[in-house]
Amino acid sequence: MANKRQLKKYMKEMASSLAGETVFILNFYDNIDEEKANSVIDRILVHMTEKISDVSVNFDKTCSEFYNNDRHQYRKDKRTYYKNCYKKLYEDFNSGVKDILKDMNALLIKEQLEENKKVANE
Q: Tell me the average pLDDT of the chain.
A: 86
Q: Is the pLDDT of residue 68 over 80?
A: no
pLDDT level of residue 1 (50, 70, 90 thresholds): low
Q: What residues make up the domain containing 8?
A: 4-121
Q: What is the pLDDT of residue 64?
A: 67
**Following DSSP, what letter does each residue of the chain receive, concatenated?**
--SHHHHHHHHHHHHHHHHHHHHHHHHHSSS--HHHHHHHHHHHHHHHHHHHHHT-------HHHHSTT-HHHHHHHHHHHHHHHHHHHHHHHHHHHHHHHHHHHHHS-HHHHHHHHHHHH-
Rounded to two decimals, what is the model's pTM?
Answer: 0.78
Number of compact structural domains in the chain: 1
pLDDT tens column, 17-62? 999 999 999 998 888 889 999 999 999 999 999 998 888 877 777 7
Spatial contact of 22 and 47, defined as CB atoms under 8 Å apart: no
